[in-house]
Amino acid sequence: MGPGEPRLDVARVRGLFPGLSDGFVHTDAPAGTLVPESVAHAVSSAMRVPVANRGGVFPSSARTEGLVASARAAVADLVGGVSTGVVLGANTTTLTFAVARALARTWRSGDEVVVSRLDHDANIRPWVQLAERAGVVVRWAEVDIETGELPAWQYDELITPRTRLVAVTAASNAIGTRPDVAAIAARAHAVGALVYVDAVQAAPHVLLDRAALGADFLAVSAYTFCGPHVGAVVADPDLLADLVPDRLLPAPDRVPDRFETGTPPFELYAGVTAAVDHLAGLCEDTVGGRRDRLRASMAAVAAYEGGLFDWLDQALRAMRHVQVVGFPEHTTPTLSFTVTGMRPRQVAVELARRGVCAWDGDFYARELFDALGVNEAGGAVRLGLAHYNTAEEVGYVIDSVAALRSAL
């Protein structure tokens, strides 16, 4: 970063996370980040005061309306949307199924949808299953098996005048690849297709801009950016108004409420707002509105995490007993690897024994790992960094992976 640009004070940041006191190195961020004290406090505070369901004429119901409105506004600031286009729900998988069912009502036999093998299954299976029921053709965007990239040029042939939807990830949850979503979206919009972007893994690392990405729908999950387990899908309110989701007859029919079924955990919505505020406050000396502060914070996060990840990535690639999966040019600080002579679960167990948290398996990137041949050996081991990780921790992880040679 240049002189005068906001920098991340990682020592101060780490002091915000009580969970870091457990003595482990937490490199499992893609599966869920740790929670700062401010988020835990916001949730517990919301549970210590009267909170009722929405729609009442008494104070506890009005308090709940405030929790909902604040969470929607926070998510809108995070992704560059508007609060009236923010649909909140249990998780992005549930919300994606809901949107898919609503969109599928408009599909006709012979229409087409395009999905990618780079994606988490939550942005594949809902579209595939609804397409099968509607008699819609599914086209697959393939991953370059050498690099792990998702070439945008292939969409020139994949997208046709019959394409109704293109689903694509903003960042792979398994190998970090950040495809050129804007280029893919431009091709989709040229034929009038909608674009559904899974930004769950991008949100903790880069400043999202729904319009710049060309995302008609943008999905995020607070648990990946230091919040509670709440998902959100952001779209233009007018687009949401054109869709007819499954809902109970007495439930509100207004947008975005018509997509939010049942009574949600309102107290967790307080945690969503606090999580976005946490990201916006990572650099203490920034000023302006929350979106402006997010812009500064996320630039500092990207620079800080990028330096640590380059070191980790290069160090692992230099080890003869380690095979890092793919070699994407633009990534989040996430990678997967295998170790010669060891099953991924064995590697994860050994790392845990050394105090390193790392996941093993396919991470719901089943199509990707099948295409790359990784699942034949039980998947891979994944490491993912967050803004609370340190150079000392990365060095320890590198040493721990290097030490696996002795376990062969």
| 10-35+289-403 and 81-261 share one fold | no
pLDDT digits (tens, 9 = 90+) for 131-150: 999 999 999 999 999 999 99
pLDDT at 31: 98
Q: Where are the alpha helices (DSSP H) in 322-365?
A: 344-353
Question: Taking a C-beta distance cutoff of 8 angstroms, is the pair 401, 320 a contact?
Answer: no
pLDDT at 286: 84
Question: Taking a C-beta distance cutoff of 8 angstroms, is the pair 257, 241 a contact?
Answer: no
Provide the whole-model pTM: 0.97
* Overall average pLDDT of the 96-111 stretch: 97
Q: Name the pLDDT band for 6 (thresholds 50, 70, 90).
A: confident
Amino acid (1-letter code) at residue 114: V
H helices then E strands: how many in the chain? Answer: 14, 13
pLDDT at 355: 98
Question: Taking a C-beta distance cutoff of 8 angstroms, is the pair 201, 173 a contact?
Answer: yes
Q: Name the pLDDT band for 4 (thresholds 50, 70, 90).
A: low
pLDDT digits (tens, 9 = 90+) for 13-43: 999 999 999 999 999 999 999 999 999 999 9
pLDDT digits (tens, 9 = 90+) for 204-216: 999 999 999 999 9
Cα 8 to chain centroid, rounded: 22
pLDDT at 408: 62
Residue 369 pLDDT exceeds 70: yes
- CATH classification (class only), 10-35+289-403: alpha beta
CA distance 248 to 230: 21
Which one is the CATH code of 81-261: 3.40.640.10, 3.40.50.1820, 3.40.50.1000, 1.10.357.10? 3.40.640.10
Q: Which two tokens mark 245?
A: 């989701």
Do strands 137-141 and 194-198 pair parallel, antiparallel, or not at all (unpaired)? unpaired
Q: Name the pLDDT band for 3 (thresholds 50, 70, 90).
A: low
Q: Where are the domains of the chain?
A: 10-35+289-403, 81-261
